[in-house]
C-alpha cells in the first residue's frame, strides 16, 4: 500500500482564521504541536498522521500584513515555506475588503498548487459566497476553492481528504509516534532560535544557527547544551552582550518555553561559536539541514 506525505503551507492575513482551521483539520489526529515561534525557519503547526499518510502543516504568519515592512531576508524565510510546500492553502476572510495583491505577488514564485479557502461564510449570504468563489477562481486559477466556516461548522473532513490526495507518494518525514529524540532536539533549537529573533535586531537572527550538541533526558530534568553559531566575531559579542547579559536573557526565556513544552525541569547551557560566513558554505548548510 503506498504512503503519502507532504508539506502544506497555510498563508493568509493574521485574523483570517488559520489557527481555527488548523484545530479543525488536525483535531484528534494531532501528533505534534510546536510552540508557535514568531520567526522560525521550519515552522510546524501540526502533523496529521494515519497509517496511510502524514500531512505536515506549517504557517507563514505576518507575511501578508501590508503595514509591515518586511526585511528582504525575512521574505526569504517566507518564500522558503512557499517554495517548499507541496500544497498551499490560501486562507481568506469572506469579509476581506482589500484585494490581496500582496498575496498574489508571493505566490508568483511558487510552483506549488494553491487551494483557496474562503472562511467565515457563516457571516455571509450565498450570493456573496458565490461571487467570492468566482472571483478567486478567475483571479488565481487555483486547484480548488472551498467555502468554509472553520469555527461554526468545523467539519473539514472532505477538505482533509482533498489535501491528502494532493500529497506525493513519500515515506513519513517525522516519526509517527510520540515526540522522538530527533524532534525533541529540533524543538529545543527552535525555542532558542525564537528568542534570538525576539531579542536581537537587524541581521543578527539571519546570521545565526542553533545546534543542539547534547540532549540528556534524566528522570526529573533534561540537560540541554546548545551552540549558537554566528558568522563574525562582532556578532558573537552582540549575542553575548555586556557581561553575558543578552545570552542570559535568551537562556531564561528559551528555558521557560522548554519547561512548558517538555513539562520537565530544564538545565540549559549555551555557547557562542563563530564560523566565518557559514551561510555561504555548502558543507555547513548541509550540516544544519538546509541542503538536501
Annotated binding site for GTP: 12-19, 59-63, 119-122
What is the rounded distance in angstroms from the CA atom of residue 85 to the CA atom of residue 56?
Answer: 10
From first CA to last CA, the distance across the chain in angstroms is 26
Closest to 111 in 3D by CA, of 137, 133, 143, 136: 143
The grid cell for 140 is 488565481
Annotated binding site: 12-19, 59-63, 119-122
What is the rounded distance in angstroms from the CA atom of residue 244 to the CA atom of residue 251?
Answer: 11
Residues 6 or more apart in contact with residue 25 via CB below 8 angstroms: 46, 48, 57, 156, 159, 160, 163
Residues 6 or more apart in contact with residue 158 via CB below 8 angstroms: none
Amino acid at each position: 500500500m503506498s504512503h503519502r506525505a507532504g508539506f502544506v503551507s497555510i498563508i493568509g492575513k493574521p485574523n483570517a482564521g488559520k489557527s481555527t482551521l488548523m484545530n479543525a483539520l488536525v483535531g484528534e489526529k494531532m501528533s505534534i504541536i510546536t510552540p508557535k515561534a514568531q520567526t522560525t525557519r521550519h515552522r510546524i503547526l501540526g502533523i496529521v498522521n494515519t497509517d496511510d499518510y502524514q500531512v505536515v502543516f506549517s504557517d507563514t504568519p505576518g507575511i501578508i500584513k501590508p503595514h509591515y515592512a518586511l526585511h528582504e531576508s525575512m521574505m526569504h524565510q517566507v518564500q522558503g515555506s512557499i517554495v517548499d510546500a507541496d500544497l498551499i492553502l490560501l486562507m481568506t476572510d469572506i469579509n476581506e475588503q482589500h484585494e490581496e495583491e500582496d498575496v498574489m505577488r508571493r505566490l508568483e514564485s511558487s510552483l506549488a498548487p494553491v487551494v483557496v479557502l474562503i472562511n467565515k461564510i457563516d457571516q455571509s449570504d450565498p450570493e456573496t459566497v458565490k461571487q467570492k468563489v468566482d472571483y478567486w477562481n478567475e483571479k488565481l486559477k487555483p486547484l480548488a476553492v472551498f467555502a468554509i466556516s472553520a469555527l461554526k461548522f468545523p467539519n473539514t473532513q472532505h477538505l482533509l481528504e482533498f489535501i491528502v490526495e494532493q500529497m506525493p507518494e513519500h515515506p513519513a518525514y517525522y516519526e509517527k509516534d510520540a515526540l522522538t529524540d530527533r524532534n525533541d532536539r529540533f524543538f529545543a533549537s527552535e525555542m532558542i532560535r525564537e528568542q534570538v529573533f525576539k531579542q536581537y535586531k537587524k541581521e543578527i537572527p539571519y546570521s545565526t544557527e542553533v545546534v543542539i550538541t547534547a540532549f540528556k533526558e534524566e528522570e526529573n530534568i533534561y540537560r540541554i547544551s546548545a551552540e549558537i553559531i554566528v558568522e563574525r566575531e562582532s556578532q558573537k559579542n552582540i549575542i553575548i552582550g555586556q557581561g553575558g547579559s543578552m545570552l542570559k536573557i535568551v537562556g531564561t526565556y528559551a528555558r521557560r518555553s522548554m519547561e512548558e513544552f517538555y513539562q520537565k525541569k530544564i538545565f540549559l547551557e549555551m555557547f557562542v561559536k563563530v564560523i566565518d560566513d557559514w551561510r555561504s558554505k555548502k558543507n555547513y548548510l548541509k550540516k544544519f539541514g538546509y541542503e538536501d
